[in-house]
Amino acid sequence: MKKNSNASESPAVKPQVKTAIKWTVFAVFTVFMYTASTSGGASSKALLLFPFAAAVAVYESEIPSAILGSAAGLLLDVSLGKLTGFTALLMCLFCAGISALFSRLLRKNIVNYLLAFSLAGGIYLYLDYYFYYKIWGYEGYRLVLTHRLIPSALKTLAWSLPVFGAVYLIERLCGSSRKPKLEEQDKNIERV
């Protein structure tokens, strides 16, 4: 077998190890964000798992994004006391969609992330409000929107910036550093 003689090209840490570290950090983040959403007082809270899963979806491919989105959604269902699978299903679809968009159409930057996340968050907010409050028409159900759901959504949106920053840093530090080569530099290509 032909060995790569150029020592500078061999990475210090193997890509598999980097990937393992990255997903371990993501798992720790997931646990932390779940406990953060159930701790403290009874005021409206930011749902950190949502922007976190969306930020990971920006950098990862569709299937890992969908799986992380589903797991984060299941945890959110438990912490929000919602029907198990409701948030998980929506987040699975959102994260897969965000991943597909960012790998094909959108540039990976914070503005596009905020736009994509706001759209997904807005759809989730409406579906949550509709299925859990509006459809039943209980007395004063609109107050839930103004006193709980919208404040929570705004807090989540505000937290999405540092969350994206954290995911970006993890991806920079632990992501597989793919270095595309110019065709001219690749001696294996047979030229006509």
For position 24 contacting another protein by CB under 8 A, the verdict is no
x/- mask, another protein, residues 46-85, rule CB under 8 A, reads: -x-------------xxx--xx--x--xxxxxxxxx-xxx
Site stretch for another protein (CB under 8 A), options 3-11, 52-60, 131-139, 169-177: 131-139
Among 57, 92, 116, 167, binds another protein (CB under 8 A): 92
Coil vs helix vs strand at 4:
coil
Pick the closer one to another protein by CB: 93 or 161: 93
* Other CB atoms within 10 A of residue 92 CB: 22
To another protein, the closest distance from the beta carbon of 106 in angstroms equals 11
For position 138 contacting another protein by CB under 8 A, the verdict is yes
Q: What's the rounded Cα separation, in Å, for the pair 89 and 160?
A: 21
To another protein, the closest distance from the beta carbon of 136 in angstroms equals 9
* CA triple 41-44-50, angle to 5 deg: 115
Run of H or E including 124: helix 110-129
Closest-CA residue to 175 (of 71, 34, 20, 53): 20
